[in-house]
Structure 1
């Protein structure tokens, strides 16, 4: 697996550039670069990208890991009780909605709309990158909330109460925008500005941005598989094939130059480890392995267990806790349980994964199965993609002799592990995708679970009444400022308002 890496001199230039935007550290997005008159796309884009990476690394990944039963809370902590009761309110996870609009989209829209006053510089590449990141984030917002502001969004003072667009309409508009972004790149004029080191994801490599756009688009099209729109899906996939850009061939990661210093750490690492010392944060102590997830790995001889989880500090065991409300003094404490592992928490300067190659291969595998038939090759080709996806998961976690270990793993005669032993190929793909996205894009596992019902058998905490959430509630802040447009919602909407594609 090849990650896109930037050289240190380029990183230094990036740090200097961002320091010119903010009077604080280079990852601080509180001082919005849209406000200064001197801001340009080269100053604004990396700030938007960092905010985008951080939101997906923290709130969205954390939520996803609890909803698909990868993580739990030990008995010596009262934190996180919401995850075993599922009593989500409009006060919960508001950061997902708010940061998307007030920060990420705001900055990216500035980049999209910017025109060089001298006319000497063309910013087509910057505009395309902005469209692609927006597409990624809009897709997630539709999946998590349903109808959202789109056509009237991001107008700032011109419209502070945007209308809400139909979820399916937004999806198809985003798919069109992704195609437009590819067209922008492929037809950029000779004087188009090279983002270079200001692009903290691909370092200005526009071919990789085309691959990423195509992969996001394929993910969205596969998500429509239950809607009876196979003709639309195959037509759109044909347009991907026509642009010739292909799909990602390495992990998509962001790294503006993370270090161990305060406010400069990788955002996922920062959730669990303190600056400089690397000591455990409170979150690092009260986030432990879920009993179901860790037992599934152990029961199926999966060596990734030692990389996805860190052995307990007392006894060195790989033991998890059930996702239930546990009274203090009962059950297992944080010292008795496995925690977030070394394959996920590598170092303060680690790359932040946006989309893994493993995920992309699983998406292609699903699209290729006979059950879907969107890509050519049938189940034989899907098997090769499925097995490659598992191998890439082992590689990404740093498993010793990763490919050999992966092959030994998926050669076991066990359903949903070995392809030939799996009668339901979609279930096998979703099960293995769930394992591969543990700790990274786990919010996608929750969305896949809602869409397909797989992986099957995931326990539902008794405190929730035996039902699992299907969506989030619009935040109270949005309801207050845009009450005329926010769709009506009640607490029950969390469990009853399924996404349009379900």
Structure 2
């Protein structure tokens, strides 16, 4: 795993860039991106990257873990009733939409459009990175919302009420952008600026950015597996093969120099543990789900003790149902397992954006579906993905333990014992993304129906959400363009690729 450390002066520059580039008004910005402010790409890029890390490491991860039933709430807390009733509204997790446009896309567009006023510097490197980051986040927004602002988005003062583009069109446009960005990353001008440690994700290693672009693109192509567009998928896989960069070979993570200080901790860690070392309320009211504890126990999964802590009261692993009517006895925060040491490692831990395990599972699925040929087998990729998950969670003697685990003759553990290979891949991917990119597990669940058997809270109407609602703030500000919606849409308006 690559960790990029940045000294205090860089952290100060990040703070300055936040003040000079960011804006509190959603899609309402008063500066022309073609009229540069006092910032530069070297200051603005790490701000957008930190925002990506922050958003993916906090609300998106929490939402995903709840919706795929990794986590629950103890009986002595009233928090999270949303997940027991699926009572989503236009303000539920609205910051995913808003922060993507305000803090990420705004800054990335500035970087992408920046021209050195002296004409001496070439910023192609920054442009490629910005396009890849945009591709990553646009994919998520389409998967979570459907139609979104795209062609008219990020124009700042030129258009503060952008139209909404068709989700399928956005998807293919993003795929094209990722293709171009990967090719640019691999064919930079000799005088292109090197971001070095200002790139808090990959340290300016453009071959790795090309691999990341290819992996995001493959994730999107696999997601199109239900659309009967195999010819398109094949042509796009061929373009990935043509650039020769391959796919990521290590976790894609951000780290600007996280430390155990106020507002400088790694985002996921800070979400649960304060800089003083005491737990945040969220750590108290977030516990393991009964279903996941029982499932991991039933398949002898060594990752159980890395994903969860033993309950304080008993020393045993115990989870709760997602419900607001749990019994008061035996289901308090002390009676239940909390988020474990394989996820909450330290205030300095890297913030994962895409894990190697996820990338390998994506390749395993693509290979099993026949999209990728001539390389490692789907089984080899599947087993390598499990091993990468064991490594990430720091299971003792991870490689040996992983091999012993997936050798068990259990369906959806051993490849040979799994009659439905896609179900096996999705089930193991769900386990591997517990606590990290679990929002992808929710999207995969909507797409494939796996992992099978995830319980639906009894207090809901028995139907799982498949999307989010557009934010109330966007409905208010851009009412002529936001697609009409009702509260029931979260259950009925499937993504276009479903």
Report TM bin, short chain: over 0.9
Q: Is the 8 A contact 1:76 1:328 kept in 2?
A: no
CA distance in 2, matches of 1:23, 1:377: 50
Q: How many residues align?
A: 492
Residue 54 of structure 1 is matched in structure 2 by 54
CA distance in 1, matches of 2:469, 2:16: 37
Quote how far apart the aligned CAs of 1:397 are: 0.3
2:392 to 396, 419, 438: 396
Quote how far apart the aligned CAs of 1:315 are: 1.2
Give ranges in structure 2 of 5+ residues lacking alignment: none
CA distance in 2, matches of 1:22, 1:159: 23
- CA separation of 1:486 and 1:458: change in aligned 2, threshold 3 A: same
* Length-normalised TM-score, structure 1: 0.95
CA distance in 2, matches of 1:237, 1:22: 38
Q: Root-mean-square deviation (CA), in Å?
A: 1.9
CA distance in 1, matches of 2:478, 2:330: 45
Quote how far apart the aligned CAs of 1:91 are: 1.0
Residue 173 of structure 2 is matched in structure 1 by 173
CA distance in 1, matches of 2:137, 2:455: 29
Report the secondary structure of 2:17's partner residue: coil
CA distance in 1, matches of 2:383, 2:252: 20
Larger deviation, residues 79-88 vs 36-45? 36-45
After TM superposition, what 4+ stretches of structure 1 lie above 4 angstroms from structure 2? 27-36
Residue 302 of structure 2 is matched in structure 1 by 303
Residue 186 of structure 2 is matched in structure 1 by 186
Q: Deviations over 1:373-426 (max 9, x none)?
A: 000159x70000000000000000010000111111100000000000000000
Q: Is the 8 A contact 2:391 2:399 kept in 1?
A: yes
CA distance in 1, matches of 2:319, 2:253: 29
Report the secondary structure of 1:302's partner residue: coil
- CA separation of 1:36 and 1:243: change in aligned 2, threshold 3 A: closer
Residue 494 of structure 1 is matched in structure 2 by 490
Quote how far apart the aligned CAs of 1:22 are: 4.9
Quote how far apart the aligned CAs of 1:37 are: 2.3
Matched, 1:417 2:413: yes
Residue 375 of structure 1 is matched in structure 2 by 372
Quote how far apart the aligned CAs of 1:457 are: 0.3
CA distance in 1, matches of 2:102, 2:23: 11
Residue 3 of structure 2 is matched in structure 1 by 5
CA distance in 1, matches of 2:466, 2:406: 31
CA distance in 1, matches of 2:189, 2:387: 40
Residue 218 of structure 1 is matched in structure 2 by 218
Quote how far apart the aligned CAs of 1:18 are: 2.0
Matched, 1:465 2:464: no
Q: Is the 8 A contact 1:29 1:47 kept in 2?
A: no
Q: Deviations over 1:1-42 (max 9, x none)?
A: xx1123x5x544532432443569xx9987999898220000
CA distance in 1, matches of 2:183, 2:60: 30
Give ranges in structure 1 of 5+ residues lacking alignment: none
- CA separation of 1:447 and 1:476: change in aligned 2, threshold 3 A: same
Quote how far apart the aligned CAs of 1:186 are: 2.4
Matched, 1:90 2:90: yes
CA distance in 1, matches of 2:217, 2:457: 34
CA distance in 2, matches of 1:496, 1:270: 35
Residue 322 of structure 1 is matched in structure 2 by 321
* Length-normalised TM-score, structure 2: 0.96
Larger deviation, residues 320-329 vs 435-444? 320-329
Quote how far apart the aligned CAs of 1:332 are: 0.5
Residue 444 of structure 2 is matched in structure 1 by 448
Residue 333 of structure 1 is matched in structure 2 by 332
